[in-house]
A and B are shown apart, each in its own frame.
Chain A
Amino acid sequence: MSRRICIIDDDPICVFTTKIIIEASNQFDDILIYSSGIDAFEELSKIQDKDLFPEIIILDINMPIWDGWDFLNESIAHPFVSNARIFVVSSSNDPEDIMKAKSYSIVEDFILKPVDISRFL
């Protein structure tokens, strides 16, 4: 069974570095990348096969169109979230953001960028 991980982030540098770190860990076979919350939601909700659903979702907060919160608000009622561990990542160390992220039951943890892969392995 292949392990899949998903990065939802609009910052290409961040996506680039996170991808390198994940690849370097050799833990995952497939990395799904979306630059907007709405794209990610639409694509992820299409996946029917439970095994094809990403095991881990790394979600950025600040994004155009749908930000991280929008994604969380839409996903919360969706069945696929029960299959994934969602980590909110952000470059912001604003306590408000941290508190808000932790208030979602579907969010496993808040991770301050730069992403430290050991936090979700």
Chain B
Amino acid sequence: MKFIRKISFKIWFPFSLCLVLLMAFIAFYYPRKLQELYVNSKKAELSQLAKTVALGVELSLSSDDFVGLKKTIDFAAANHDFDFVAVVVKDSLGSGSEILTSYPADIELQKVTSRDTLSYVYESAPVSTESFKGEIVLRYSNNRLSDLITEIERPVYWTIFIFGTLSLIAFYFFARGISNPIQNLIQFTNHLSSGDFEVKSKFKNKSDELGELADAILILQSNLKSGKQRNQELTEGLENEIRLRTVELERLSLVAKTTTNSVIITDENKKIQWVNDSLLKLSGYSREEIVGNYPNMFQFEKTDPDTLAYIKEKLFVNEPVSAEILNRGKFGNEYWLVLNIVPLLDSDKKLYGYIAIETDITDKKKYEEEQKLLFELTQSQNLRLKNFAHIVSHNLRSHSANIQVLSKILIEKHPELASDDFAKHIQTSSENLLETIDHLSEVALMLTNKQGHLEVINLSTKANKAIGSITALADGANVNIINEINSSTRILGLTAYVESILLNLLTNAIKYSDDSKPNKFIRLYEENTPEYVVLCVQDNGIGVDLEKHGRKIFGMYKTFHRHPDSRGIGLFMSKNQAEALGGNIEIQSEVGVGTIFKVYFKFENE
């Protein structure tokens, strides 16, 4: 079987064809050769016989020597090898022939003399009888065998042809039966090897080695198929991933390229590998000058060594670092950067490079410097103001206090001076001086003490307290005071300031109440904004002409009414106090209708 399988169909078919042709040739050639050999042997045999006969015949047909001829005939008859054997006597004149004796006995002359019979003429045996003079011819035919051969020749050929054809066909199918599965296998494996895993197998289950081979190949196919499918899935996943990554990468590279920030990418030895255009613009270097160089090319003697040390320290332990640093470009231009460096680590935490993103903060730095200067200036001014406040509250005040008390004692000690205009004026002036200095120092202190330690204050409680302390005044002026402030409203402030503001606004409102109105009132309520608690103090008093006095209303020593008590310090103080608490005061007023003061306090949120 193994041997046959080794012979491929291509060899097997010509081989079997040649075999058939050879057999046909043998079948065709051999009987003829046999016939020829047979005929020749018989000829020789007969000739020998005839010679013997002739030698014994001293030729008289009537004689007993004729026995020899008889024997020949008998021999022929006994052998059955001849169609016929006849002794023909030919007339010497050639005028006729006559069968002398024959086998079979009743043979016709015509058959004996027909062309296709073989004859042997013993010419040296002349016949001489009285009646007949001629020659004796021994004629015979072995047509029997020839005919036999001729007779069986055709069926033999047919048989050979049919047999050969059948055997060819059989061979073909046989070969096919062997080679087809192999062919199939070959074809199948060819398909598989060309990557077509979907091909249907044509094998039928066979229990021989071929079947096992086929089974093995089928298993291989299914393995390949699932492998291919998995491969395909993996490939698709990978392709998808690659596509996403590519998009992301493109976007990132677009960002890196087009960002106004400078971007530097280095290898693990800080050797620059890539920079974006922003850096080129900022530094003035060309890409060729930068790539392959090291970032310290941008540093110079004014770059803070402590910052550099800090960066180095952080990068040494592979930590990201952010720092502000002064760099210098190609043409000596100095610029401040916020430098963000991130070490690039692979999945094994192994360093493979750094990426640095730099933001130009030169303008910001400049602005910061200016701000710093401004701040220092403000601070020094504030300090001077504080000194001024100190001078006012200590030095000036001590002198004026002395003058005031001296003048007072002087008049007490010398009662006759009490009626003296000079003494009286000195005393009044000294008292006014002391009061003015007190106000001045208070305001100066307020301004220097802005937004100090603010405390949480319940506005409604303070309002009630203020209302309580001026009840007598309000009752005297017949003014009704309504407190509508939410009892839970809390603000950030200083108790002294808040009380002072409330008291000042309330006394103001009572002072400038309109006696011509029957229901004089003061209403306190809230009108809050997201950032402020707005205390509103509304009255229906005489009002103030804001167009005329609006700008000066919160100024020092401004009064707009000929009221006996108005000295114009209250609103100035209140405004300063509100501002010191981080708020403000506004006024809305209409002459004859009334006034609303709005005080902005800081919300207390927590």
Contacts and interface: CB of A to CB of B under 8 A. Distances in A.
A31 to B, nearest CB: 16
Main SS of the interface on chain B?
Answer: helix
B441 A93 contact: yes
B520 interface: no
Which of under 10, 10 to 19, 20 to 34, or 35 or more describes the interface residues of A? Answer: 10 to 19
Interface residues of B, number: 20
A41 B398 CA distance: 24
A20 interface: yes
A24 B77 CA distance: 209
Interface string B367-397: 0000000000000000000000110011001
A62 B399 CA distance: 13
A54 to B, nearest CB: 22
A92 B394 contact: yes
Contacts of B404: 114
A113 interface: yes
Contact of B402 (A14, A20, A24): A14
Contact of A95 (B394, B401, B413, B445): B445
Interface string A82-121: 0000000011111100000000000000000111000000
B162 interface: no
Most buried by A among B393, B438, B442: B393
A44 B302 CA distance: 64
B405 A62 contact: no
B393 to A, nearest CB: 5
Contact of A13 (B402, B408, B438, B441): B402
Contacts of A24: 412
B581 to A, nearest CB: 15
A14 B397 contact: no
Interface string A7-34: 0000101100100110010000000000
Nearest to B412: A24
A14 B401 CA distance: 9
Contacts of A91: 394, 397-398, 401
Contacts, number: 51
A94 B398 contact: no
A94 B402 contact: no
B296 to A, nearest CB: 53
B382 to A, nearest CB: 15
Contacts of B408: 114
A93 B438 contact: yes
A30 B445 CA distance: 39
A17 B409 contact: yes
A114 B442 contact: no
A93 B393 contact: yes
Nearest to A91: B398
A24 B405 CA distance: 14
B23 interface: no
B216 interface: no
B406 interface: yes
Given A93-B438, A93-B441, A93-B442, A62 B402 contact: no
Nearest to B396: A91
A94 B445 contact: yes
Contacts of A90: 394
Nearest to B437: A93
A93 B402 CA distance: 15
Contacts of A11: 398, 402
A92 B397 CA distance: 7
B397 A20 contact: no
A114 B401 contact: yes
B409 A94 contact: no
Interface string A41-67: 000000000000000000000100000
B397 A21 contact: no
B509 to A, nearest CB: 28
A113 B401 contact: yes
Nearest to B406: A17
B406 A94 contact: no
Interface in B403-450: 404-406, 408-409, 412-413, 438, 441-442, 445, 449
Contacts of A17: 402, 405-406, 409
A62 B445 CA distance: 19
B20 to A, nearest CB: 136
B25 to A, nearest CB: 144
Contacts of A21: 405, 409
B272 to A, nearest CB: 59
Contacts of B438: 93
A113 B398 CA distance: 7
Contacts of B397: 91-93, 113
Contacts of B442: 93
A71 B268 CA distance: 69
Contacts of A62: 394, 398
B469 to A, nearest CB: 21
Nearest to A114: B405
A67 to B, nearest CB: 12
Contacts of B401: 14, 91, 113-114
Nearest to A94: B393
A53 to B, nearest CB: 28
A21 B445 CA distance: 31
A114 B402 CA distance: 7
A36 B466 CA distance: 43
Contacts of A115: 405
Contacts of B393: 92-94
A21 B405 CA distance: 10
A92 B404 CA distance: 15
Contacts of B449: 95
Most buried by B among A24, A92, A95, A114: A114
B411 to A, nearest CB: 12
A20 B409 contact: yes
A94 B409 CA distance: 26
A11 B405 CA distance: 14
Contacts of A95: 445, 449
Nearest to B442: A93
A114 B406 CA distance: 10
A21 B441 CA distance: 26
Nearest to B401: A113
Contacts of A114: 401-402, 404-405, 408
Shortest beta-carbon contacts, A-B, top 10: A91-B398, A114-B405, A113-B401, A13-B402, A17-B405, A92-B394, A91-B397, A94-B393, A114-B401, A92-B393
9 contacts: A14-B401, A62-B394, A62-B398, A90-B394, A91-B398, A94-B394, A113-B402, A114-B402, A114-B408
Interface of A: 11, 13-14, 17, 20-21, 24, 62, 90-95, 113-115
